[in-house]
Chain A
Amino acid sequence: MRIVCPFCGERELGEFTYLGDAKPRRPAADAGEEAVYDYVYLRDNIAGPMSEHWYHGGGCRAWLKVTRNTLTHEISAVVPAAGAGAAKVDA
């Protein structure tokens, strides 16, 4: 499997580290125990395209958001995660 880093170009899997699902959003401070439990522990087990965070630690050290089909490993999109690069602070 290879990932096309938006900064570096196509690189082998060994340069990247997998974090996990990019969907969960930290709930508001007053959201309640249920929402926090969901955010911390509950994950969807997606069969198909999934949005994931990957770290290009063996390269430019940027965090990336990768859309990967968990059935085929086909990658349809790779974009910088929010905060990857000081210029893209609002991404």
Chain B
Amino acid sequence: MAEFSWDIRSPLDRTLVTGPYGARGEAGLSLTEIRNFDLVQAMARRGKAAEMAAAAKARFGVAAPETPKAVGNADATLIWSGPDQFFVLSKGGRHGIEALASVFAGSASLSDQSHARALISVSGQRVRAMLAKLSSIDLHPDVFAVGSAAATSMDHTSVTLWRGGDRGGQAVFNLLVFSTFAESLWHTILDSAAEYGVTIGHSEELA
């Protein structure tokens, strides 16, 4: 039988070029793809939403979000993705699908999305101006504070958006997008961001 091995690459591998992009001078925002994460979607079984919430609380020490929010502890973030469902975002297999299977046995159906989504993190001084071109959601800090989340669409593409912890005094917005739409959204983001100047990079660290 022929030798056969997987070559695991990011869906943005072909497209992402690290370094400066767009207007020269001080970059108005930075655009970072986060790679190699574990992402599991949990959806409550019929009538088992309370049981799922209790299981999440026991595992993570925080209540699973029941409204569009992202909550977390040191090594996992729970992101609301719809009524009675959420994502578990983590690294290193601690909260991957194998690890979580027994936690949610009987209360929720799990589905591994680790390789089905790309994770893009945007921050910087002009980040809201850039996102305003793509989204009709009000991202002003009075309305969309740290930990706010939204299941929404950008450029006709479904995304899960949430605001992470500030970095260097700047708001950080995280975007989960279907792998197969990641290149398309990436180009749209670059077009929207070019006038502000962008620093492009990728990282293995969840922020």
Residues of B within 8 A of A (CB): 43-50, 67-68, 81-84, 136, 150-153, 156, 158
Are A86 and B152 in touch, CB under 8 angstroms? no
Residues of A within 8 A of B (CB): 7-9, 11-12, 14-15, 57-62, 80, 84-89
Tell me the smallest distance from the CB of A43 to a CB of chain B, in Å: 29
Provide the main secondary structure of the chain A interface: loop
**Set of chain B residues within 8 Å of A80, measured between Cβ atoms:** 83
- Distance of A58 Cα from B48 Cα, bound (Å): 25
With both beta carbons as reference points, the residue of chain B lying nearest to A90 in the complex is identified as B47
Are A61 and B50 in touch, CB under 8 angstroms? no
Are A89 and B83 in touch, CB under 8 angstroms? no
Cross-interface CB contact of B151 among A12, A61, A88, cutoff 8 Å = A61
With both beta carbons as reference points, the residue of chain A lying nearest to B68 in the complex is identified as A8
Cross-interface CB contact of B48 among A11, A59, A62, A86, cutoff 8 Å = A86
Tell me the smallest distance from the CB of B57 to a CB of chain A, in Å: 15
Are B82 and A15 in touch, CB under 8 angstroms? no
- Distance of A14 Cα from B84 Cα, bound (Å): 23
Tell me the smallest distance from the CB of A11 to a CB of chain B, in Å: 7
- Distance of A60 Cα from B83 Cα, bound (Å): 7
**Set of chain A residues within 8 Å of B156, measured between Cβ atoms:** 14, 58
Cross-interface CB contact of A62 among B67, B83, B153, cutoff 8 Å = B83
Instruction: Give me 17 other A-B pairs in contact (C-beta within 8 A), A60-B83, A87-B50 excluded.
Output: A7-B68, A7-B82, A7-B83, A12-B136, A58-B152, A58-B156, A59-B150, A59-B151, A61-B151, A86-B47, A86-B48, A86-B49, A86-B84, A87-B47, A87-B49, A87-B84, A88-B83
